[in-house]
């Protein structure tokens, strides 16, 4: 792992986005709440939050961080489900990986919960869209 011990503790935040593309009928099934496995959006949101907290267990050499906030927003859009994961901490290293992990696992959970009706879903456009704090400062890309 990279030694971050000499870096100052600063407030840090990151946002990642991803899109799960699916058939309109699959999106409608999720919206209606009638998927056989249950509440797709609620379960996926919880999975994303849990994933952010476990990022250091999943990504080699990633520092474990005390997260002060994790939120996952899901929006039904014409092409499927748009996901935004927001993570905050006060620490010596950033939370970009935690935000990306939260977004990824949220998308994978959606896929898992409705794959029986739509195996052609595509998890697309995973990206970091914003980060703040630390020596490199602000980054924003929408």
What are the catalytic residues? Answer: 112
CA distance 1 to 86: 24
Closest CA to 4 of 100, 130, 135: 135
């Amino acid at each position: 792992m990279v030694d971050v011990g000499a870096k100052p503790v600063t407030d840090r935040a990151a946002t990642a986005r991803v899109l799960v593309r699916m058939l309109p009928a699959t999106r409608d099934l999720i919206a209606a709440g009638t998927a056989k496995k249950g509440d797709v959006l609620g379960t996926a949101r919880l999975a994303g939050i849990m994933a952010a907290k476990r990022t250091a267990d999943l990504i080699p050499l990633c520092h474990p961080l005390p997260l002060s906030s994790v939120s996952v927003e899901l929006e039904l859009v014409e092409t499927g489900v748009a996901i935004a994961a927001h993570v905050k901490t006060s620490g010596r290293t950033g939370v970009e990986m935690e935000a990306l992990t939260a977004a990824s696992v949220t998308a994978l959970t959606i896929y898992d919960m409705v794959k029986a009706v739509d195996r052609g879903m595509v998890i697309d456009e995973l990206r970091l869209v914003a980060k703040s704090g630390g020596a490199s400062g602000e980054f924003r890309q929408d």
